[in-house]
Amino acid sequence: MKILTIIFIICLIIIPLGCKTTEIISEPIAASVLYEDYVNNRIRADEHYRNKILTMDGVISLIDRDNEDKAYLMLHTGHTSFIELGVVCYFKKENESDLVNLAKEQRVKIKGECVGIPSNSFYQHVTVINCNVIIK
């Protein structure tokens, strides 16, 4: 009986550690505001947005695939250097069909998980993964 109690307690401790719960930010945010928040204070922006599901509104500046063949679109933010800097939204294979009928300069609403600005990224894009288009 003692062994079963010990196993039960261990399971109560270990199982929640392996579970990832993702918070959802219910208020939609403009892609330009999301980007501006990261430019102004990356630490605060990470605290507020990182690993959370959010809905963004923006205008498409690019629809493409990266060098690993992952489909993405970029939303305008109004920031440029030698390239446009923006919010890059990556789509899973099963959601790539969301991109087929979209075009540059089209306004869309995208839902996805914000991962912030990856530390290994040369370009300072805010990255959002597991995206899907919710309004075209």
Mean pLDDT over 87-108 rounds to 95
pTM exceeds 0.95: no
Mean pLDDT over 57-82 rounds to 87
Domain boundaries, given as residue ranges, for the chain:
22-135
What pLDDT, on a 0 to 100 scale, did the predictor assign at position 136?
63
What pLDDT, on a 0 to 100 scale, did the predictor assign at position 23?
87
The mean predicted confidence, pLDDT, of the chain is: 82
User: Residue 10, exposed/middle/buried by CB under 10 A (0-12, 13-18, 19+)?
Assistant: exposed
Mean pLDDT over 53-61 rounds to 95
pLDDT tens for each residue of 6-47: 343 433 333 344 445 578 888 999 999 999 999 899 999 999
pLDDT band at 125 (very low <50, low <70, confident <90, very high): confident
Mean pLDDT over 122-133 rounds to 88
Mean pLDDT over 104-115 rounds to 96
Q: DSSP string spanning the chain?
A: -HHHHHHHHHHHHHHHHH-----B--S-EEHHHHHHHHHH-HHHHHHHHTT-EEEEEEEEEEEEE-TT--EEEEEEEEEESSSEEEEEEEE-GGGGGGGTT--TT-EEEEEEEEEES-TT-SS--EEEEEEEEEE-
What pLDDT, on a 0 to 100 scale, did the predictor assign at position 59?
94
Question: Is 22-135 assigned to CATH 3.40.50.300?
Answer: no
Mean pLDDT over 42-69 rounds to 95
Angle between helices 42-49 and 31-40 (to 10 degrees): 130
Length reported for the chain: 136
77 close to 48: Cβ distance less than 8 angstroms: no
